[in-house]
């Protein structure tokens, strides 16, 4: 957003030779006009709406629950409104340009997805919102895209080939996490009603176009559903056995990670069956899709029908694909283990059981799939260094020991020693003693908030910690505190700015997402309060699996991963304080480990050179 609305227009204006820039988004951000027309024609009802897998009330914005009737009315109104705006050329089909963001379930039904698109054989191809946007990309000298899209598009022809352009990764410290996310896989073993519809849909499509399905789809689908149900039961028993719960117990949420990435023998046979059955169905689905596209190509008169039938098939592809890829990864055993885990989550009385698998070393993935493709790349971020060194990022990004890599740390234009002060508060309680530390820290925070005259930001390491602080607010401070999650981010920041501009004190209570990418210059943020060093919770399955593997090969995950990762977060959090050459701000950290522990001093050495002061609680 900043690049498109501020930075690139300013750059284009200052250059003698003009250039064209455009924003690239995934297909799912654009409406499929053919799907929308079909839905409006059906009164808003989709015959193959797989997302309606259960009849539970659907949560709306801010946790309220709407009835089925209300959801149906909202959906019909949304589709009719979108169709009208498209007809009047007052909307370009981009989800992000709608004045009100649609519900994710409603949008997914009309989104333009690769698996449901016949491309040039679609009767709406010439005025397709997505392909019109793609045409604009073809004319651009500079294309802006997020990291997810770049990695997801490798080899897909969506973006220019990486050996034919210069790639600039801004906020590049996110690349390793995005790589892990892109190459992870998960399958849902609970909501399986879509499998009941699969044979019927394949039969409908083949009958409509007089095609033949070779596979005994009904039998294989029944066997797959049976195997998934069996796996879900075994998974539930395992998760509940670990957490000490039972099927009748409350709070059935839980995660079970398989040590050293080894799938238990009890599950191996069932997962092997699932992989084989899902692979067979996936191939049958793919073969039928190829035939449908061939008919559309050979007989344009049937293009509309073919596009609609192909869209029916396409709704099944991601779900079957997730089962195939997850089962394959669960069965994979290599020299470097994968993170593999089961997860049980309950919401609105419904229990969802999922299986997950994910690589644990992002650098290997980036080296193989990204850096081997690029002609030239620049990676930038204010937090590529941790504890004063590039080593952690270079390892995580798969660039360590690459002879073509050069690292450059550019000096800041800010005079931190003059413009800011970092105060470390020494509490009596050890930060590792969560309850007593939080009580003491919150009491200190309340006293410090009394001195806020304009804007301030308080960053918490957990929702529970933020809740304790919110509940401790005295009456006269309540009106000046805005808490993350009580309203949208944009509205909360708007309220904060309005208060400060009107001369009133305003304090934002936020967590990790407010510790990065938040620009509150001058009086909008004169103090940043850091309630605790931002160590990631040690319960993330991928982090646990990686630490386990490092220990097994004689390495120290705390020094190698935890400290530098926390150092980067701390650098980001303190970076909210001084945003311009004219700012003067204070950072107050209540965690004495920053100056007392050797790892804390490592992190401190990687922070800007603030004037450091200490005080006792």
Measure CA 5 to chain center.
23
Per-residue burial over 22-57, b if 16 or more Cβ lie within 10 Å, else e, is bbbbbbebbbbbbbbbbbbeeebebebbbebeeeee
Cα-based distances in Å from 599 to 113, 285, 558, 575, 593: 47, 54, 10, 20, 8
* pLDDT tens figures, 178-226: 999 999 999 999 999 999 999 999 999 999 998 888 768 999 999 999 9
Q: Does the pLDDT of residue 362 top 70, yes or no?
A: yes
At 66 the pLDDT is: 58
Pairwise CA distance, residues 33 & 27, whole Å: 12
* pLDDT tens figures, 540-549: 899 999 999 9
The terminus-to-terminus CA distance of the chain in angstroms comes to 42
Alpha-carbon Rg for the chain, nearest whole angstrom, is 27
At 50 the pLDDT is: 43
At 589 the pLDDT is: 98
The token duo for 197 is 């519809």
Q: Degrees (nearest 5) of the Cα angle 581, 417, 613?
A: 135
* pLDDT tens figures, 11-36: 999 999 989 999 999 999 999 999 99
Alpha helices in 333-482 (DSSP H): 362-366, 391-396, 416-419, 434-449, 463-472, 475-478
At 213 the pLDDT is: 81
Given a contact cutoff of 8 angstroms between Cβ atoms, the answer to whether 188 and 354 are in contact is yes
The token duo for 3 is 């690049």
At 540 the pLDDT is: 87
Is residue 143 within a helix (H) or strand (E), and if so which, with residue range?
strand 142-144
Cα-based distances in Å from 488 to 494, 525, 588: 10, 19, 27
Residue that has been written with the tokens 């992870």 in this structure? 184
Percent of all residues in the chain with a pLDDT value above 70, rounded to a whole number: 94
Q: What does the mean pLDDT of the chain come to?
A: 91
* pLDDT tens figures, 134-144: 999 999 999 99
The mean pLDDT value for 302-317 works out to: 90
At 244 the pLDDT is: 64
Q: Degrees (nearest 5) of the Cα angle 21, 25, 31?
A: 120
The token duo for 270 is 């069932």
Per-residue burial over 303-340, b if 16 or more Cβ lie within 10 Å, else e, is bbbbbbbbbbbbbbbebbbbbbbbbbbbbeeeeebbbb
Q: Does the pLDDT of residue 456 top 80, yes or no?
A: yes
Cα-based distances in Å from 338 to 17, 248, 364, 366, 478: 50, 32, 13, 16, 47
At 57 the pLDDT is: 43
Given a contact cutoff of 8 angstroms between Cβ atoms, the answer to whether 442 and 449 are in contact is no
Per-residue burial over 525-541, b if 16 or more Cβ lie within 10 Å, else e, is bbbbbbbbbbbeeeeeb
DSSP state for residue 300 in the 8-state scheme: G
Give the closest residue to 525 by CA, choosing from 586, 569, 572, 612: 586
Handedness of CA 127, 129, 133, 134 (dihedral sign): negative
Residue that has been written with the tokens 């070779």 in this structure? 214
At 49 the pLDDT is: 41
Phi/psi at 356 (nearest 5 deg)? Answer: -130, 150
pTM for the whole structure: 0.85
Phi/psi at 505 (nearest 5 deg)? Answer: -70, 145
Q: Degrees (nearest 5) of the Cα angle 232, 238, 241?
A: 135
Confidence of residue 44 (pLDDT cuts 50, 70, 90): low
Give the number of other Cβ atoms within 10 Å of residue 229's Cβ.
Answer: 14
Task: Indicate the pairing of strand 420-426 with strand 455-459.
Answer: unpaired
Q: Does the pLDDT of residue 58 top 60, yes or no?
A: no
Phi/psi at 555 (nearest 5 deg)? Answer: -110, 165
The mean pLDDT value for 46-52 works out to: 45
The token duo for 46 is 């989709």
Is residue 239 within a helix (H) or strand (E), and if so which, with residue range?
helix 217-243
Weakest mean pLDDT among 110-124, 137-151, 389-403, 591-605? 110-124
At 1 the pLDDT is: 82
At 42 the pLDDT is: 67
At 60 the pLDDT is: 45
β-sheet bridge partners, residue 254: 344
At 65 the pLDDT is: 54
At 158 the pLDDT is: 87
* pLDDT tens figures, 378-429: 999 999 999 999 999 999 999 999 999 999 999 899 999 999 999 999 999 9
* pLDDT tens figures, 234-292: 999 999 887 665 444 445 678 999 999 999 999 999 999 999 999 999 999 999 999 99
Q: Does the pLDDT of residue 75 top 90, yes or no?
A: no
Pairwise CA distance, residues 610 & 425, whole Å: 15
Q: Does the pLDDT of residue 38 top 90, yes or no?
A: no
* Phi-psi map region of 522: left, alpha, beta (phi>0 left; psi -120 to 50 alpha): left
Task: Indicate the pairing of strand 58-59 with strand 21-23.
Answer: unpaired
Confidence of residue 46 (pLDDT cuts 50, 70, 90): low
Confidence of residue 334 (pLDDT cuts 50, 70, 90): confident
Is residue 208 within a helix (H) or strand (E), and if so which, with residue range?
helix 193-208
* pLDDT tens figures, 470-500: 999 999 999 999 999 998 898 999 999 999 9
Residue that has been written with the tokens 């995580």 in this structure? 396
The token duo for 487 is 């309203």
């Amino acid at each position: 957003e900043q690049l498109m609305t501020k930075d690139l227009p300013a750059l284009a204006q200052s250059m003698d030779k003009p250039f064209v820039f455009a924003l690239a988004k995934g297909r799912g951000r654009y409406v499929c006009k053919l799907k929308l027309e079909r839905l409006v024609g059906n009164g808003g009802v989709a015959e193959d709406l797989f997302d309606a897998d259960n009849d539970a009330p659907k949560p709306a914005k801010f946790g309220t629950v709407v009835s089925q009737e209300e959801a149906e009315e909202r959906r019909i109104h949304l589709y009719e409104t979108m169709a009208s705006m498209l007809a009047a050329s007052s909307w370009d089909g981009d989800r992000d340009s709608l004045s009100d963001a649609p519900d994710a379930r409603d949008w997914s039904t009309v989104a333009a997805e690769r698996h449901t698109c016949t491309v040039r054989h679609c009767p709406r191809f010439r005025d397709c919102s997505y392909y019109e946007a793609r045409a604009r990309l073809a004319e651009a000298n500079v294309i802006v895209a997020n990291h997810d899209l770049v990695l997801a598009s490798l080899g897909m022809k969506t973006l220019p080939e990486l050996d034919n352009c210069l790639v600039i990764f801004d906020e590049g410290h996110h690349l390793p996490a995005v790589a892990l996310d892109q190459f992870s896989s998960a399958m849902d073993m609970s909501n399986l009603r879509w499998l009941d519809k699969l044979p019927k849909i394949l039969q409908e499509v083949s009958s409509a176009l007089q095609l033949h399905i070779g596979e005994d789809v009904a039998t294989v689908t029944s066997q797959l559903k049976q195997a998934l149900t069996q796996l879900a039961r075994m998974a539930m028993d395992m998760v509940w056995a670990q957490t000490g719960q039972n099927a009748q117990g409350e709070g059935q949420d839980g995660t079970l990670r398989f040590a050293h990435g080894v799938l238990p023998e009890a599950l191996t046979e069932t997962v092997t069956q699932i992989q084989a059955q899902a692979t067979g169905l996936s191939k049958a689905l793919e073969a039928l899709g190829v035939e449908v596209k061939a008919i559309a190509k050979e007989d344009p008169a049937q293009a509309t029908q073919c596009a609609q039938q192909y869209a029916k098939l396409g709704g099944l592809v991601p779900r079957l694909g997730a089962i195939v890829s997850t089962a394959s990864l669960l069965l994979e055993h290599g020299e470097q283990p994968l993170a593999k885990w089961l997860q049980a989550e309950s919401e609105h009385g419904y229990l969802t059981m999922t299986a997950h698998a994910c690589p644990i070393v992002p650098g290997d993935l980036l080296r193989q799939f990204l850096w081997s493709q690029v002609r030239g790349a620049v990676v930038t971020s204010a937090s590529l260094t941790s504890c004063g060194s590039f080593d952690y990022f270079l390892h995580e990004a798969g660039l360590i020991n690459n002879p073509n890599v050069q690292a450059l740390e550019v000096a800041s234009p800010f005079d931190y020693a003059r413009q800011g002060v970092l105060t470390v508060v020494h509490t009596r309680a050890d930060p590792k003693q969560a309850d007593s530390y939080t009580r003491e820290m919150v009491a200190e925070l309340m006293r410090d908030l009394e001195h806020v005259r304009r804007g301030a930001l308080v960053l918490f390491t957990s929702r529970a910690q933020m809740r304790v602080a919110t509940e401790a607010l005295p009456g006269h401070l309540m009106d000046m505190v805005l808490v993350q999650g009580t309203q949208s981010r944009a509205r909360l920041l708007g309220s904060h700015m309005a208060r400060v501009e009107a001369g009133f004190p305003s304090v934002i209570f936020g967590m990790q997402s407010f510790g990065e990418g938040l620009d509150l210059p001058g009086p909008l943020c004169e103090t940043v309060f850091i309630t605790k060093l931002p160590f990631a919770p040690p319960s993330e399955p991928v982090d646990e699996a990686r630490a386990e593997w490092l220990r097994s090969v004689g390495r120290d995950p705390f020094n190698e991963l935890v400290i530098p990762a926390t150092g980067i977060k701390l650098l980001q959090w303190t970076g909210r304080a001084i945003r311009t050459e004219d700012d003067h701000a204070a950072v107050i950290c209540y965690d004495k480990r920053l100056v007392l522990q050797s790892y804390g001093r490592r992190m401190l050495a990687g922070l800007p050179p603030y004037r450091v002061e200490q005080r006792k609680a």
